[in-house]
Structure 1
Amino acid sequence: MALIWNSSPPDCPIAPTKALDGASRLAIAQEHRAALSRLVQTLPQQPAQPNEDEKTCSTAPMSFTKGLPHDAYGLVEPQQYRTFTAQLWRPLPQMAHHAQAVGHRFDLSGPDVSSFNLPAAPHIGSSEACAEIALLYVMALLRDSDVQALEAGTQPLPYCYPALHPNHGQPVTAAAMVSELRKLPWIDADARPDGANGPLSQEEKYRRATLWEDQDPQKGLTLRVLARGISPGARKGPHISQFLLLGTARHRHVLPHDQQYDIRSGQVSLGAQRVDQRIEEPTPQRDYLSDWNAWLDAQTSVTQHVTPSQTGRQCFISQPRHLANLAHECQPYQPFVLAAEILRAQGLRPSIDAPLHMLLADVANRAHRAAYRQKFQIHRRARPEVLAARLTQTYHGLTGAMSPTVVARFTDMLEELGADHPDDISRPGVLLSWISARNDVNNAQAGVAIAGHDIRHANFLLPQAFPGGAPGSPSYGCATAAAAAACATVLKAVFDGAMPLPEALGTATYLHAHPDAATLVDWTGPQDDFGHATLADELDKLAENLSCGRGFAGVAHRSDLVESLRLGERVAAAVLQDHILSYEGPVALTLTDIDHRQIIIDSCFGGVDCNGTVSLGPKLTVTGMTECEWWLGTPPDMSCDEGVMRAVSAQILQFSAAQ
């Protein structure tokens, strides 16, 4: 929400008292640019922190190598990888427009993409990496579940317990899968897993806590947390955001009595056009890269963007596979453009005069570039499909040129996952049995002939939702998650994010897709959620839906999504600081971030910048932490008390009173 003061704060150097022209305007314009320059120069810089996997593993088993020549074991020659990484730092002229070179491009307004970095990714052999691949196995097994049934957790699934398992004969449900996941040290709140450097870092503690309901270790992992992501707002109401389902009340060029454009139709007015919220239905139970040769082919030659098999029917989003397809096929800012139009159709107007669609595209582009710099120039982490393959080949002794140290790390992961103990109820080995059974069924349905390495009966490859598997870019960060979070941040800032959701949408209840996915019906879940939800909650849910779609597709690790959402927020905040400096008078924006911290972005706050220098340029204030800590992506303090929250809330009210 924007607060535009009628009078300038004292000592504000960029607040004119009359219309400007000629030399006067040029002078003030220079002040605006100088303020932006000060902002860029004083923004805290955090050094890049890649993990040690690339340095310590000569055959790059968990580094990004897709598109390079691979041997029969899916490994590259060390010299080929060194040549590849050298080109990423000094791109050849012919690479100037390639994705690998995106991170080299400079921003001529606002902070450079190098101002935003991610913490080190989980390393080979860590408990966090074990938990991440196990989570993705379960998400792949649940890919075709109706989201309502998924979260109920009681619907029997087409898997069974091994003959010697104590639960043999009992139905396998989503809730049972979560129970298996809770046995992993990273997810079990009573366990004490090590971090990359011994004790868990603050970032590792945060990522671990986001796996527990309300970040409460006593509640632990739940189906809602597994399927919905990290934001408290994403866990209110039905799984799918209303902004992925609703239409506008009527097309603006149609008479009011015409009922064709009821919000339940899913038709959104966009200028003179109508956009259908329904998607092309992907073929259920159709997965890819579930046999060794298909996986190896995908690593050696990057498949261009290929649409998964479809049924030919249009449907509303009601399954994780639908979310995966949406995130695969659309630009991340598109759903937010439609969200803005839905809000405008309800009579809401942005609180600053901004070209909103252009602003959304701009922040999405900036976040995309920031994520791609992390992908190629910093971390180069392999996609989940590679980790699953390494576990599979290690189990079968097909390790090729991998060093004994690396093999030992993958062996430790298999032990933690219970690979040789599917009947041991203290470990989640049954998950590997289920994923292997799923791969066998998929290969039989696809008529796959066994060739190359025979990994049947212990096939731990991660079933992919797309024909080419993961995209031809590294995994960390996730550009979709970063761009989605950036767009959500903009809409929370320019609309009143604190507005009750019923008021913002003009509806009496949540809607969700009927089980046949052909129509929208009233949600029958707890109605308190709807009454207590805010617009900001629903925008966070929209960002999480797109982010989790990448997880359900099997193409992104959970840490990619968690850290990239927070990266996108920081990029958007920087763009908003840049944007509000273009106004003649002082402007302040207020919003809540994905961790529910309240933020004020003020074009003329004054005070002391991160280097201790008096600054009269843009200022950012955050609940419970310093501006510098927030810009550096510091996780929220889990012990932040209500007194701090009340103090900053009072500060925001003080700003409101100054209008």
Structure 2
Amino acid sequence: MTPPTRRQTALVKRIAAADLAANRHHPHHVRNADETTYKLPNHVCSYISAFTKGLPHHLDGRLVSPHHFQLFIHAVRTGHVKDIAAIPLGPPHSSSFRSGIAKDAAVRGWESMAAGNTFDLQGPDAQAVTMPPCPRLNSHELVTEMTELYYMALLRDVPFTHFNKHHLVQSAVYDMNHTHWTKSNRCCLPRPERRRHRSKFTTDNIFRGVTPGDITGPYISQFLLVGTKGLADVHEETEGYVQYGATRIDQRVRTVQPKIDYMTTWAAYLDVQNGADLRRHSAYAEPPNYRFICTPRDLATYVHYDALYQAYLNACIILLDINAPYDSGLPFTADDAVDKQQGFATFGAPHVLTLVTEVATRALKAVRFQKYAVHRRLRPEAVGGLLEQYRRYGGGHSDLAYIIRPIRHLADSLSSDLMSMVAKENGRQNSLIRDNGHPRSHDEGSDDTHLLSMAYAEGSPMHPSYGAGHATVAGACVTILKAFFDHTFKLPFAYVSSSDGRKLKTVKLSKKLTVEDELNKLAANISIGRSWAGVHYYSDYVESIRLGEEVAIGMLKEQKLTYSEKFTMTIPKFDGSVIEI
């Protein structure tokens, strides 16, 4: 028999990968029932629980027309440019932006609405992975999530090293432990909720992730702090420079002005919901100042502008620099005298560096489908808007009072002491006086609102909240790194940023940090960094990293079919289990 040609063998490999993808379980996508549950007085859906940012809203915060949201859904389904262009964007035609900060602002379009309709030739199809329904608007879980977010907003300028003794952190522990959700019996919850449930908060675990290693050692992952030795070993890791060939990247972040938050007046909030583009209005320290991440606001700044795979590419370079061993199941891991070759194009540095970036785009497509086509969850800022509407109009008998009735459970369940602190801080923000055109200036009063303050002037991105793009990419990229490197390897350093961010200090731990610990913590830092900014919930993080993990594992399984070498990859998953590819 004539042996197959290279062309025929290549076709067989591609078909095998296609068969693997086609035979993969394609789940049914399930959303919660909120979108069709809450009605207007005329029984038309109100969409108060849905992402409506960018669509026209009345001055009291209501959608101008539910039909606009139906056009939004239709455009997501078709992905046609003309359908997307037909969606109304911006404030109603009869009005303009009202706040001082949004004066003369342009409108801001939605981001990649149809990305989830794109087909891919590698890894799981964007619609072949899924997420469970997100917490409902009247759920006990959302009460805990919003309690957490309001405290995070109040704590943005407290150094991480001060958390254990800070009175607001202690108050957050108390309030979150006394929510109905935290006190509920975990065993009685449905499976998706059970794995999101956190049974007891302490000053050591609050505001942290829940994967192995997340509560081990300092809050910030080493991979967001340390540098590499670089060329000729001329740098120390404490200098914070990550060497990119003959150039270098500084791990320090540019600092923004402390104690300045955004969207704390109703006019500014409404402008942003109507699509005001305020992405260049954040107030930065002048002259420019850079420091190691030492406060939640620094972390929120990092995840404001990062290239989505940036932190994981740096982590990969750091692991290569310290000669972290590859997974023992990979080829070419013995001495050169034995293997007679080194990994490079395959099973070497260029291979893993490329995969870290390659998986990111597939993760983004998968999560975009969940965001737009399935869940369409409103952002935390909009929940804050509903709470402010309820404060203003909830006791009346108007149509708006009828519409916002579903928010009563949340409003009544939040700690009154917490909301008093929120109102007081928002009042302080709103009383700031215009100073030489300061971009934080407003001209719309100094109300003590219940709005959730934002670290970013523009608030959230222009796409729904669940899942989270940063978290999905984090889950995917970290999974690639855990597949290639020995996850049990102990890092030769442990640092924490000083409280002013000027230097790294050695921290003494009872046991050394491992690759798995710090990669999981890195995924949590990046994901929860978005919650510190106010733009995501905890459930967005915990479900999205799992989505990204599934995308990465699927891609690695298909790629394995293409190699002539026999090898295995051992991957510790976020749930604590271990799989082998």
Coarse TM-score class (shorter-chain normalised): 0.7 to 0.9
CA distance in 1, matches of 2:223, 2:462: 29
Pairwise CA RMSD: 2.2
* TM superposition shift of 1:446: 5.2
CA–CA separation in structure 1 for the residues paired with 2:21 and 2:400: 44
Match of 2:53 among 48, 56, 66: 66
212, 224, 239: which is aligned to 1:265?
Answer: 239
2:543 maps to which residue? 563
Query: Is the contact between residue 364 and residue 472 of structure 2 (CA under 8 Å) also seen in structure 1?
Result: yes
Q: TM-score, normalised by structure 1?
A: 0.75
> What letter corresponds to residue 181 of structure 1 in structure 2?
M
For residue 416 of structure 2, what is the aligned residue in structure 1? Answer: 429
> Do residues 132 (structure 1) and 120 (structure 2) align?
no
- Structure 1 residue 490 and structure 2 residue 464: aligned? no
> 2: distance between equivalents of 1:30 and 1:595?
37
Letter in 1 for 2:249: V
1:456 to 443, 447, 450: 447
Sequence identity percentage: 32
Q: Which residue identity lines up with residue 59 of structure 1 in the other structure?
A: S
Contact conserved, 1:60 with 1:75, CA < 8 A, in 2? no
Q: 2: CA distance between counterparts of 1:484 and 1:401?
A: 43
Give the structure 2 partner of residue 158 of structure 1: none
Shift of 1:304: 5.8
Q: Where does 1:491-640 land on structure 2 (aligned, <5 Å)?
A: 491-502=481-492, 507=493, 510-524=494-508, 527-530=509-512, 533-601=513-581
Which amino acid in the other structure matches residue 37 of structure 1?
A
CA distance in 2, matches of 1:334, 1:22: 45
Deviation at 1:308, TM superposition (A): 2.6
Match of 2:310 among 327, 334, 337: 334
Contact 1:91–1:101 at 8 Å: present in 2 too? yes
What is aligned with 1:467?
457
**Separation in 1 of the partners of 2:388 and 2:176?**
19
TM superposition shift of 1:362: 1.3
Distance 1:89 1:401 in 2: 31
User: What is the match of residue 183 of structure 1?
Assistant: 178
Tell me, yes or no, if the aligned pair for 1:302 and 1:472 is still in contact at 8 Å: no
Are residues 1:299 and 2:273 paired? yes
SS at match of 1:599: strand
2-side partners of 1:536 and 1:192: how far apart? Answer: 30
Aligned to 2:90: none
The CA deviation string for residues 108-158 of structure 1, in whole angstroms up to 9 with x for no partner, is 2222110111111111111111111111001111111100101x1x23xxx
CA shift in 2, pair 1:401/1:366, >3 Å: farther
Q: State the Cα distance separating 1:305 from its structure 2 match.
A: 3.6
Distance in 1, matches of 2:173 and 2:240, equals 33
1:587 alignment partner, SS class: coil
Structure 1 residue 22: Cα displacement? 9.1
Partner of 2:361: 365
Task: Confirm whether residue 202 of structure 1 aligns to residue 191 of structure 2.
Answer: yes
* Cα separation, 1, equivalents of 2:276 and 2:476: 28
Q: What displacement does 1:387 show? A: 0.5
1:403 deviates by 7.1
Cα offset for 1:180? 1.6
- 8 Å contact kept, 1:234–1:540: yes
Distance in 2 separating the partners of 1:110 and 1:537: 26
Work out whether 1:42 is the aligned partner of 2:32.
no
Whether 1:88 and 2:88 are equivalent positions in the alignment is: no
Q: TM-score, normalised by structure 2?
A: 0.85
Contact 1:591 1:600 in 2 (8 A): yes
Of 319, 322, 333, the residue aligned with 2:295 is 319
Contact 1:511 1:522 (8 Å CA) reproduced? yes
Match of 2:37 among 46, 56, 69: 56
Give how far 1:556 is off. Answer: 0.3
- Report the number of matched residues: 518
Structure 2 unaligned regions, length at least 5: 39-44, 86-109, 331-346, 435-440
SS in 2 for 1:528: coil
| Structure 1 residue 466 displacement after superposition | 0.2
- Residue 414 in structure 1 maps to residue 373 in structure 2: no
* C-alpha spacing 1:192/1:75, structure 2 compared with 1 (3 Å): farther
CA deviation after TM superposition for structure 1 residue 24, in Å: 3.2
